[in-house]
Structure 1
Amino acid sequence: MQKTSLGPLVRGRRRKLSITLQDLSDKSGVSVGYLSQIERDNATPTLGTLAQIAEALGVGLDYFIATPRPVDALTVAAERPRFSIDGSSIHYERLGAEFPGNVLSSFILHVPPGYRSELVRHEGEEIIYILEGSIVQILEAEEIRMSAGDSLHYRGNRPHGWYNDSGAPARILWTGTLELFRGKGGRAAELPRRAAEAREGGRE
């Protein structure tokens, strides 16, 4: 399973652009305090928050997560690679494919008991479907308990987050229009070069 240490990559890219934490906060909508924790590897953002940071840094999410890009639309369950962000207890399975004009991203999330996400808001929309277990979805001021078979469709600009207080693992099918692996970052083949640049920046 692939893991990525985010702190040096975020810090290195920010320094390469010669912007402050406050600048990055203004561009991404993520607080200075939380960005500082991420750069010190004391906090692990969700994919949605990381996508906001990536966009503010002028790269795609694949700058930080070197996941394989499927050559077509088929993913085989027994062969589907998983990945996680270093420090996070959530494992992801990527379902969506990349092709010209596609607007959806889709993942299966494996969520351990006790996990709690941060509250986020962003452009686009999301659908979650509980495959196994249960979670509590936060949508603005409302908390919605969801169990296997339940689904929820909402706009990303509404503050949202979720947590698993069930005492058992949960599996969630997440689909959304939030651009995670597309954008200004380019193709996955460029990842080794970008990672090296970021790590060099982290040693400045």
Structure 2
Amino acid sequence: MENGKVGARIRTFREKAELSPADLAERTGLDITFIKAIEDDDLYPSLQPLVKIARALGVRLGTFMDDQVSRDPLVVRQSQRREELTMHHTGKDEPALRFHSLGRGKSDRHMEPFYIEILPESAEDASLSSHEGEEFIVVISGKVAIRYGQETTVLEEGDSAYFNSIVPHHVGAAGDEPAKIYAVLYFPE
């Protein structure tokens, strides 16, 4: 799915809920210009705003990426993975993160599994985010810096981290090389 479809889906769910952009901004605590940028300009600075929008609209985060329903078990072949979402830092053209959903199509899921390419640009904006739930990541290649509250830990290939995501955190590349991780995010209902 192209990035532009995510913004269009958010708009569709907002309109189905009979909410204006101002209503959604009020429910999420996000600025109305930010809401409009997500819908119109495909702006994705972090997962935190998307989680807030999903909660305000009463849908799962994955709803914005799903385009089909599958049978169990859902199998995603490596050759069939598609970049579904890129996150940019405000004012930057180059992406900092590239997300590939590994759960797209499983409509009854309770976790959001991703394969994520973390580019060195991710370290430029180390702003912390938080949301209800938990995260589990495994580093496949490169080095990843996790800032969790006041503590920073560098993970290398094969290392993993499991943490409560309500604590402000940031996950970015450590150094000048990209990193690749598998991540599973859990958002309680």
Q: How does 1:116-155 map to 2 (within 5 A)?
A: 116=125, 119-155=128-164
**Aligned counterpart, 2:72:** 72
**In the alignment, which of 141, 154, 157 is matched to residue 166 of structure 2?**
157
Which residue of 1 is the match for residue 91 of structure 2?
none
Q: What pairs with 1:78-89 in structure 2 (closer than 5 Å)?
A: 78-85=78-85, 89=95
Aligned equivalent of 1:98: 106
Q: Name the TM-score, length of structure 2 as normaliser.
A: 0.71
Given that 2:21 and 2:35 are in contact with CA atoms closer than 8 Å, whether structure 1 keeps it comes out as no
Normalising by structure 1, we get a TM-score of 0.67
**Does the CA-based 8 Å contact 1:4-1:64 persist in structure 2?**
no
| Structural RMSD (CA) | 3.3
CA contact 1:81–1:93 (8 Å) conserved in 2: yes
Distance 2:144 2:86 in 1: 22
Q: Separation in 2 of the partners of 1:174 and 1:59?
A: 20
Structure with the greater relative contact order (CA < 8 A, sep ≥ 6): 1 or 2?
1
The question of whether the paired residues in 1 share the 8 Å contact of 2:13 and 2:57 is answered with yes
The one-letter code of the counterpart of 1:54 is A
Unpaired runs of at least 5, structure 1: 184-204
Which residue of structure 2 aligns with residue 198 of structure 1? none
Indicate the residue corresponding to 2:44 in structure 1: 44
Count residues in correspondence. 177
Change (3 A) 1:103 1:65: closer
- Pairwise CA distance, 1:171: 0.7
Does residue 1:107 correspond to 2:108, yes or no?
A: no
